[in-house]
Amino acid sequence: MTALLHDAAEAAALLRAGELVAFATETVYGLGADARNDRAVAAIFEAKGRPHFNPLICHFPDAEAAWAEVRADGRARALAAAFWPGPLTLVLPRRADSRVALLAGAGLDTLALRVPAHPQALALLRAAGTPVAAPSANRSGRVSPTSSAHVLEELSGRVAAVLEGGECAVGVESSVLDLSSPGGAALLRPGGVPAEAIAAVVGPVGRPVPPGAGPAPTHRSPGLLLSHYAPTLPLRLEADAAAPDEALLAFGPAPPGAGALFQLSAARDLREAAARLFAGLRALDAAGQRQGLRGIAAMPIPAEGLGEAIRDRLARAAAPR
């Protein structure tokens, strides 16, 4: 049963315990989890029925907390000074020592982050003491929620609690600006901060191609490319076993003989497997290169629940490059 809460400290305690909590921002209600907890982040995708592991926006109580996780240049700091707290998300290079779960960034070398303007959201983030990953609090593909009633209609029984925050003032999602390349700024999603206002701070901004108006832009955009942040070693799917010169990404009982092994979930738990997927690919890629292995073999994943998202990511990682 999903609880309706009015106390940010109580909601923060649930987040620290690995539970999901929906909360109001000035844009829409977000479905929050401790961004440093792999299993909690995986639970977001499960609760939403999200078909792909798209990067999630990580929320922070202030800019300095955000800068601890990413490399922020002068453009990012100027935009934060102008629009944070507020409906602007920045995509920046992830720091090597970032503790945010790889799944929250969809395994990319960037993180999307913002400081929300809603006072209750800021109170929750300060009380939680951890970055909070939060997409919109609705089923995947459905209309974004702007009230607690909307969230309960969509996700009752799928999340631990909804923190009552009233109606959302902005009502559309944040603008998402990619600053991961030093050569320019690219607007990945229009939203609460107009592109003209962003350009007034950082200069010309690349615009997204409208749906149906042409090919998708080639700048970094979650989940659009067929071969999407693949390991260096080639990846073989639906493998029953691995040769001595291959690494094995295992799901369930692992056959012997692989040159290196990473177990996604011995118990065949899809949430555990989702939480460990990106770390597993990175670990096997590094081990394989150290040992001179020729590739990575991935055991079959069932096409149900989170398995659909895992299979999607593996298919992209195995695609021709």
Question: Domains in the chain, start-ordered, CATH in brackets?
Answer: 3-206 (3.90.870.10), 235-318 (no CATH)
pLDDT digits (tens, 9 = 90+) for 257-271: 999 999 999 999 988
Residue 211 confidence (pLDDT): 44
Residue 321 confidence (pLDDT): 66
Q: Which residues of the chain have pLDDT under 50?
A: 210-229
Q: Which residues, including other chains, have CB under 8 Å from residue 168's CB and lie 6 or more apart?
A: 24, 25, 26, 27, 28, 29, 118, 146, 147
Residue 37 confidence (pLDDT): 97
Tokens of 160: 């631990």
What values do phi and psi take at 114, rounded to 5?
A: -155, 165
Residue 289 confidence (pLDDT): 95
Residue 62 confidence (pLDDT): 98
Residue 208 confidence (pLDDT): 58
* Cα–Cα nearest to 318, from 238, 247, 255, 203: 238
pLDDT digits (tens, 9 = 90+) for 91-134: 999 999 999 999 999 889 999 999 999 999 999 999 999 999 99
Handedness of CA 92, 121, 173, 52 (dihedral sign): positive
